[in-house]
Amino acid sequence: MTTNEALWNDLLKWQTDINKKDEALLKSKPIHDKAISPIREMTEIVLDNLKPKGLNALSSTSKNDISVNKKPTLIERAEAEKTKGNDYFKQSNFKQAVVHYTKAIELNPTVSVYYVNRAMAYIKLENYIEAERDCTKGIQFDTKNVKAYWRRGIALQKLGRIVEAKKDMELALKLEPKNATIAKDLQALISTNKTLPKEQKTNSENKFRSLPINVIDAAYEPQSSQQPPLTPVSTSKVNKTPQPVSGTPMATAKQTKDVKEITANITSVKEEQRKEKKTTDSVPAKVTTEKTRPAIVPSSTVPLKFSVPKTNFEFERDWKTCKARGIDVLYQYFQNIPPASFATLFKSSLESDYFEQMIHILATKYVEQKTPKDIYDVLDGLSRVKRLDMLLMFLSKQQEKELESLFTLIKSSDVVPKDKMDRLSMFYKIR
């Protein structure tokens, strides 16, 4: 019994001591305020009086300094080419400037500034036709480009198209009324126009556009084919016809006799023509039909021979010439070009005007005279031209309807496999 009480008293004493120690620990300060032996030596960071911006500020330099091999985009490359063109232009090296402006257009053909800058280089090279075309293209992408109207006015003035030049400069001045240089050029144009003859002012617009074209072909017959041949007159008599000279004596008797003989021959010919006309009028229609010659063949049915263009320059030259002669001649020229050569021929670019005219020719002449397979070959060849998808974005509603009708015709004929037709329809965005 004594042993058990001793053990119990000992256990109570141990519990009391433990409680006292716990109370002492709770009353003491936290452990992190006590001196702890350092794990590693302290290092001092010197920032040269710069205020630190956090951990990211110390690591951001490494991100920026890392060189990434990133290829420039087409837009960045085009801007670089434009900058090179500007540098060559400042050095008066206009030909090299045209080269770099052209590269910029090929990389990004939707920027108006590239066309307008190249137009100025063309003006310096006195290539006013190309300058006028570039300015027109620049206006298509930016209708408020002052320099485009101004420089086109300069090019038109040099081409002699004063009325159009005046309109462009007036429009440029309207967009930028405080531009003294444009106002000066416009005033000089007006003063120059006052000195021109009246006929030149009214016809200045058509002076360089309308050109007479004489078509010489074996299929054409002279309209006077039904008239009888004239009575031959000796060359010796014609050559001896007296020439009127002021202050000379009267013609000799021999010269007067020759003149009378020639006059008599002409009179007899006219009489024979009148008699022949009366005779043909009195003859029945059947006899007249048998004796007359074949009718004159219209120019649209006469097959013309064209050389296949090898460069874009040759194509544009021939296209403009054939366009002036009518859509029939233009169709004959266009169908002469193999569709497989379109990608090579229009490697640099295909103008929207030419593309729209091609669609119109397909919808009219090709539908009438060609097969659906021929139409498909042309559309497939055009689809392989670079950046043609951008020209499709600017088609008018009329051209879009013509394009849809062409695809409807090809699909209904079943001459093209469905997979090829689906691919072409997807390219031209035809449902």
pLDDT tens-digit readout, 344-402:
888 767 888 888 899 999 999 898 888 988 999 999 998 888 878 788 888 888 888 88
pLDDT at 147 over 50: yes
Give the number of residues written for the chain: 431
pLDDT at 202 over 60: no
10 Å Cβ neighbour count for 134? Answer: 29
The two tokens of residue 342 are 């379109």
| Contacts with 107 (C-beta within 8 Å, 6 or more apart), sequence order | 74, 75, 77, 78, 81
- Whether residue 42 is contained in a domain is answered as no
Q: Identify the CATH number of the domain in which residue 110 sits.
A: 1.25.40.10
What is the band of 120 on the pLDDT scale with cuts at 50, 70, 90? very high
pLDDT digits (tens, 9 = 90+) for 48-98: 666 555 555 555 555 555 455 678 888 899 999 999 999 999 999 999 999
Q: pLDDT at position 85, please?
A: 93
End-to-end alpha carbon distance in the chain: 110
Give the domain-ending residue among 193, 214, 249: 193
Distance CA 81, CA 103 (A): 6
Residue 143 sits in which domain range? 74-193
Residues 218 and 299 sit within 8 Å (Cβ to Cβ): no
pLDDT at 288 over 80: no
Give the domain-ending residue among 193, 228, 255: 193
How many domains is the chain partitioned into structurally? 2
Find the angle CA(346)-CA(348)-CA(354) to the nearest 5 degrees. 45
Residues 362 and 355 sit within 8 Å (Cβ to Cβ): no
Helices (H), 49-111: 55-65, 74-90, 94-107
The values of phi and psi at residue 195, to 5°, are -80, -10
Instruction: Note the pTM of the prediction, 2 decimals.
Output: 0.37
- Whether residue 239 is contained in a domain is answered as no
- Whether residue 221 is contained in a domain is answered as no
Q: How far is CA 289 from CA 220, 280, 293, 295, 429, in A?
A: 19, 11, 8, 11, 56
- Whether residue 189 is contained in a domain is answered as yes
Distance CA 179, CA 196 (A): 27
Residue type at position 274: R
Distance CA 143, CA 165 (A): 17
pLDDT above 70 covers a percentage of the chain that reads: 63
| Nearest alpha-carbon partner for 428 in 386, 396, 382, 397 | 382
- Whether residue 328 is contained in a domain is answered as yes
Ramachandran category for residue 265: left, alpha or beta (phi over 0 → left; psi -120 to 50 → alpha):
alpha
Exposure string (b/e) for 323-337, b if CB count within 10 Å is 16 or more?
A: eeeebbbbbbbbbeb
What is the band of 41 on the pLDDT scale with cuts at 50, 70, 90? low
Q: At what angle do helices 397-413 and 352-361 cross, to 10 degrees?
A: 40
- Whether residue 81 is contained in a domain is answered as yes
Query: Any idea which of 35-44, 296-305, 306-315, 386-395 has the lowest mean pLDDT?
Result: 296-305
10 Å Cβ neighbour count for 350? Answer: 20
Distance CA 425, CA 408 (A): 10
Residue type at position 333: Y
Residues 179 and 172 sit within 8 Å (Cβ to Cβ): yes
Give the domain-ending residue among 193, 219, 253: 193
The two tokens of residue 42 are 């302290």
- Whether residue 233 is contained in a domain is answered as no
Ramachandran category for residue 304: left, alpha or beta (phi over 0 → left; psi -120 to 50 → alpha):
beta
Give the residue with greater pLDDT, 146 vs 44.
146
Q: pLDDT at position 72, please?
A: 83
- Whether residue 85 is contained in a domain is answered as yes
Q: How far is CA 55 from CA 14, 43, 62, 256, 400, in A?
A: 53, 16, 12, 121, 60
| Nearest alpha-carbon partner for 127 in 163, 90, 169, 97 | 97
Section 262-269 average pLDDT: 56
